[in-house]
Structure 1
Amino acid sequence: EAIEKINTLKSNPECADIVWHYIGSIQRNKTRDIAEHFDWVQTLERDIIAKRLNDQRPDELPALNVLIQVNIDNEDSKSGCLPAELPALITAIKGYERLQLRGLMIIPAKADTDAFARTKALFDDIKASHPELNAWDTLSMGMSGDMAEAIDNGSTMVRVGTAIFGARD
């Protein structure tokens, strides 16, 4: 669905500056399309997917900006790596020249009142312990219903699709 829209809009000079973000579960058979058409991936959670995105990113495109999706509340129903898995995934991504690691993304549990604060602390700890991550600048937290709280806790990017487009079927 997105690729058709991207191709249509890229041919329009008025839309040439659109920055495309992929948000969603990433299946192995979709990595080539994502690597070729998107500017950002906000839901990277496994090394195998990172390697595929890196290997399939066309040389003529800039490095793909990626955020690691963290399952901050260890919910079975949510995607993302666990906080304890972050060091290994960060190390792997740092080795991929076609990926630019930019930060973290979370979707907290609805009942969690401190997930944003815990994620901000995790983000800051990673930044302090990895000074070589000079592009570590993005904390994608919050959606249409909780964006004010996310911003209050340090979010640099909120996802407001429902507020703009309405609920999806």
Structure 2
Amino acid sequence: MSTLEQHYQQVSQRLQQACDQSKRAPQTVKLLAVSKTKPATMVETIYQQGQRSFGENYLQDAQEKIDALQHLTDIEWHFIGPIQSNKTRPIATHFHWAETVCRDKIAQRLNDQRPADMPPLNVLLQINISGEDQKAGIHPDEVDQLAALVAQLPNLSLRGVMCIPENTQDDAALAQQFQAMQRLFQRLQQSYSSVDTLSMGMSADMALAIAYGSTEVRIGTDIFGARS
């Protein structure tokens, strides 16, 4: 077994342990393998281990991989980087998920540019749950307005919310932010039957995020190694 495969298995085991600790079934938490900057060969290696969902931040890099791996027909591509207006068409055309939607204009463009022969693009709303000025995402108070827009766009499917919490070692502060996200998610679920995804948690805070209801954790370096 290669080092890459070993790392993937170790992350999968950690995910299982975190679910066990929170008394949750492992199948209720999706592992999103963040493959940004890594070559298609590494993605395919992890795919052969059973992984299907991959997260990409950089559009050109992602498009090259998507083209190279077209033969993997059940692979699922998630765009998890900032979405500018000039990126919406390729995201709408090539991805299954857009996880960082935080503006009405971007949602409208993704809807308008989604090809008619493709299923609706799955959308997560990015929440700036820590309230940091440098962070992308909407304020929690703005969620209802953006959710209502996305929900009525025919080529988008509102699936939930995501966040990148404060970069801190303070578990109490993280727990507070994760709990706020969980409440937001649960509130949206009451209004929209399509909402089933709470994306939060990365390598360092995976277990805590799962304890607060995360249904998707985003892991990159611990699988693929340091960014090249």
The answer to whether the superposition gives a TM-score over 0.5 is yes
Tell me how many residue pairs correspond in the alignment. 163
The question of whether the paired residues in 1 share the 8 Å contact of 2:160 and 2:188 is answered with no
What residue in structure 1 maps to residue 101 of structure 2? 44
1:161 paired to 2:217: no
Distance in 2 of aligned mates of 1:63 and 1:167: 34
Largest Rg, 1 or 2: 2
More helix by share: 2
Cα deviation, residue 103, structure 1: 0.3
The question of whether the paired residues in 1 share the 8 Å contact of 2:159 and 2:195 is answered with yes
1:53 paired to 2:75: no
Divergent runs of 4+, >6 A: none
**Structure 2 alignment gaps of length 5 or more:** 1-60
> Once the two structures are superposed, what CA deviation does each residue of 1:67-122 show, in whole Å capped at 9, x if it has no partner?
00000111111110110111110111112100000000001112333111111011
Q: Percent identity?
A: 52
Alignment of 1:1-169 (within 5 A): 1-10=61-70, 12=71, 15-111=72-168, 112-113=173-174, 114-128=176-190, 130=191, 133-168=192-227
Cα RMSD for the two superposed structures = 1.0
Which structure would you say has the larger RCO, counting Cα contacts within 8 Å and 6 or more residues apart? 2
Cα deviation, residue 165, structure 1: 1.4
**Structure 1 alignment gaps of length 5 or more:** none
Q: Given the two structures, how large is their TM-score scaled by the length of structure 2? A: 0.70
Q: Given the two structures, how large is their TM-score scaled by the length of structure 1? A: 0.93
